[in-house]
């Protein structure tokens, strides 16, 4: 195990220097790319135009690549829509009991393909000689950090846990409420506890005291305190941590009926289940028809990104609501208590702790959350911006991960470079690509001097860009179709024209990408670059 401390606190002089260097690097790179390209456009427009053409082509290929995998992931998601996970869990139990595993005979093409995946996974599990405990010995610890969420936000999630296909009596629910939260929040948590406690193994409301040493006012500190409290209860009840799967959910998370069955199955079938996180597909459907179009598009984009990532288990990093082995969580000393982006930080923390022997397993099941909705249009814009900046603040992981990788001897250089590059490139691309594609790509033509405007390139560059963007629209059309398939059916039947407008909302992507994706990302990186650290900021959500 790597003793690396996943924090920016209490560093030695050299560590602090290294940390600062890696804190500056992403922001400096993003600004250098943007400013450098701008200077190049003004000074050497021909070279700038060629670079932009090559970049556009690279982006197109990446887009096709993402679209391909998005389609595959969507197909897999729809394939597993009707899977009877509980039945599969029982079949793994049968394997444990040395009973014959009976895969149900295929009824439709979807089930037929799904069964192929199941057979492959069972085969792999059998070969691993790492059979799990029986499913009736597996418990779920669900931690729901809350600060200012009302009962309307909190209760639907709890109801979804209770009403799922997995036995709720094997579930311990913990509302992790901040001490500084309002009395109404605490009362709501207690009311919900009283209403649902009998449905679960147990239901705790844990008040997280303010001002614990070394903690920042972040969600991870709250969740960690709740996890430690739950651990004591589990020990009292003699339930080993190895048999517990912990899920840390945003307060607005509503799980699908099969979530815990699918999670239990994924946990049981994974040979390295104690060194893994389990990532569902986050969707933002709770209030998706009530929010402005741009917010809907943005959250659909986030869902799609995660859906695409799900097709690359070797690249997957935990995001938002997710689950993991409780043992792993205890081993790595819980979530970071001084970082905003605890959801992805826990993955990196575990990866470094286990010297690279840690993974995120995709689950083809959804958890639904709220789209930011602050009531008014402008206020929603501000809140969406702040939420995306908080997401982009995940860049705070980069310097710590880099230090961890530099201190690690056991993770292969290839893996370290692969992970570092993905993390670094992902953040720089997030902050720069929309600017290059939406604005800077058109500037060489606008600022063209005589030399450039008399060149063949001046006339061919817009044509090439136009062909590239036309081809990119194929991706957009695919995305629109998938979005329409994935969106929940509206309670009110929308007219044909309303549906057309919903589809056309995707055309605002260039603006949304610049103002609610690249700008917050650049903002976050710039803050990190100048050492202006962020604290957790709870977004407004309403139903």
Interface contacts to other proteins, rule CB under 8 A = 49-50, 53-54, 57-58, 61-62, 64-65, 445, 453-466
CA distances from 5 to 214, 286, 337, 394, 426 (A): 13, 37, 12, 18, 24
* 73 versus 223: smaller Cβ distance to other proteins: 73
Structure-token pair, residue 308: 């695409």
Look at strands 202-208 and 171-178 and give their pairing: parallel
Q: How far is the CB of 44 from other proteins (least distance, A)?
A: 14
Q: How many CA atoms lie within 13 A of 110 on its CB side?
A: 11
CA-wise closest residue to 27 among 421, 443, 430, 416: 430
Beta bridge partners of 173: 142, 203
* 64 versus 289: smaller Cβ distance to other proteins: 64
Please give, one letter per residue, the 3-state secondary structure of 150-211: CHHHHHHHHHHHHCCCCCHHHEEEEEEEECCCCHHHHHHHHHHHHHHHHHCCEEEEEEECCC
282 vs 292: CA distance, rounded Å: 19
19 vs 17: CA distance, rounded Å: 5
* 62 versus 97: smaller Cβ distance to other proteins: 62
Contact at 8 Å (CB) between 308 and 71? no
* 127 versus 446: smaller Cβ distance to other proteins: 446
Q: How far is the CB of 69 from other proteins (least distance, A)?
A: 11
224 vs 345: CA distance, rounded Å: 13
Kindly tell me the burial class for residue 417, based on how many C-beta atoms sit within 10 Å of its own C-beta (0-12, 13-18, 19 or more). Answer: exposed
* 293 versus 438: smaller Cβ distance to other proteins: 438
Q: How far is the CB of 458 from other proteins (least distance, A)?
A: 6
Q: How far is the CB of 9 from other proteins (least distance, A)?
A: 41
CA distances from 139 to 129, 279, 361 (A): 22, 18, 19
* 35 versus 54: smaller Cβ distance to other proteins: 54
* 54 versus 485: smaller Cβ distance to other proteins: 54
Q: How far is the CB of 542 from other proteins (least distance, A)?
A: 41
* 24 versus 50: smaller Cβ distance to other proteins: 50
**Cβ atoms within 10 Å of 322's Cβ, excluding its own:** 25
446-463: b or e for each residue (b if 16 or more CB lie within 10 Å)? eebeeebeeeebbeebee
312 vs 127: CA distance, rounded Å: 23
* 52 versus 248: smaller Cβ distance to other proteins: 52
201 vs 206: CA distance, rounded Å: 16
Q: How far is the CB of 517 from other proteins (least distance, A)?
A: 23
147-164: b or e for each residue (b if 16 or more CB lie within 10 Å)? bbbbeebbbbbbebbbeb
Q: How far is the CB of 440 from other proteins (least distance, A)?
A: 16
Q: How far is the CB of 412 from other proteins (least distance, A)?
A: 21
Q: How far is the CB of 306 from other proteins (least distance, A)?
A: 21
470 vs 452: CA distance, rounded Å: 25
* 64 versus 305: smaller Cβ distance to other proteins: 64
Q: How far is the CB of 60 from other proteins (least distance, A)?
A: 9
Q: How far is the CB of 459 from other proteins (least distance, A)?
A: 5
* 199 versus 464: smaller Cβ distance to other proteins: 464
């Amino acid at each position: 195990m790597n003793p690396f401390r996943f924090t920016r606190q209490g560093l030695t002089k050299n560590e602090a220097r290294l940390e600062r260097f890696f804190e500056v690097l992403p922001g400096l790179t993003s600004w250098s790319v943007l400013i450098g390209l701008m200077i190049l456009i003004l000074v050497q427009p021909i070279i700038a135009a060629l670079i932009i053409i090559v970049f556009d082509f690279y982006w197109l290929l990446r887009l096709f690549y993402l679209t391909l995998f998005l389609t595959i992931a969507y197909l897999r998601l729809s394939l597993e829509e009707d899977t009877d996970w509980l039945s599969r869990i029982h079949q793994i139990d049968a394997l444990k009991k040395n009973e014959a595993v009976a895969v149900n005979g295929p009824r439709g093409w979807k089930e037929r393909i799904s069964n192929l995946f199941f057979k492959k996974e069972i085969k792999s599990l059998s070969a691993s000689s790492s059979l799990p405990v029986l499913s009736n010995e597996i418990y779920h610890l669900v931690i729901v950090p809350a600060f200012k969420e009302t009962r309307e936000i909190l209760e639907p999630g709890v109801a979804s846990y209770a009403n799922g296909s997995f036995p709720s009596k094997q579930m311990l629910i913990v509302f992790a409420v901040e001490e500084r939260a309002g009395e109404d929040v605490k009362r709501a948590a207690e009311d919900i506890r009283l209403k649902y406690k009998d449905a679960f193994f147990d239901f705790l409301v844990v008040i997280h005291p303010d001002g614990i040493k070394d903690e920042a006012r972040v969600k991870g500190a709250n969740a960690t305190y709740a996890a430690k409290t739950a651990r004591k209860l589990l020990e009292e009840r003699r339930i080993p941590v190895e048999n517990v799967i912990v899920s840390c959910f945003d307060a607005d998370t509503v799980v699908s009926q099969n979530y815990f069955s699918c999670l239990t199955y994924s946990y049981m079938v994974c040979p390295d289940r104690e060194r893994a996180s389990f990532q569902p597909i986050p969707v933002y459907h709770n209030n998706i028809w009530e929010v402005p179009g741009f917010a809907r598009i943005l959250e659909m984009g986030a869902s799609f990104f995660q859906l695409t990532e799900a097709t690359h288990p070797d690249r997957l990093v935990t995001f938002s609501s997710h689950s993991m082995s409780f043992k792993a969580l205890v081993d790595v000393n819980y979530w970071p208590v001084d970082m905003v982006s605890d959801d992805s930080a826990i993955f990196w923390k575990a990866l470094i702790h286990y010297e690279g022997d840690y993974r995120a397993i995709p689950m083809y099941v959804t958890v639904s959350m709220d789209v930011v909705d602050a009531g008014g249009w402008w206020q929603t814009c501000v809140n969406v911006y702040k939420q995306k900046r908080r997401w982009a603040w995940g860049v705070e992981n980069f310097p710590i991960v880099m230090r961890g990788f530099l201190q690690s001897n056991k993770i292969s250089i290839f893996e370290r470079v692969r992970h570092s590059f993905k993390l670094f490139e992902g953040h720089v691309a997030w902050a720069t690509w929309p600017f290059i594609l939406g604005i800077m790509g058109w500037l060489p033509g606008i600022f063209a001097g005589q030399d450039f405007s008399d060149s063949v390139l001046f006339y061919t560059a817009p044509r090439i860009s136009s062909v590239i963007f036309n081809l990119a629209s194929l991706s957009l059309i695919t995305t629109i179709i998938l979005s329409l398939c994935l969106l929940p059916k509206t309670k009110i039947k929308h007219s044909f024209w309303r549906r057309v407008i919903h589809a056309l909302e995707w055309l605002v992507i260039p603006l949304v990408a610049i103002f609610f994706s690249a700008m917050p990302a650049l903002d976050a990186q710039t803050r990190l670059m100048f050492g202006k650290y962020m604290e957790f900021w709870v977004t407004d959500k309403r139903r």
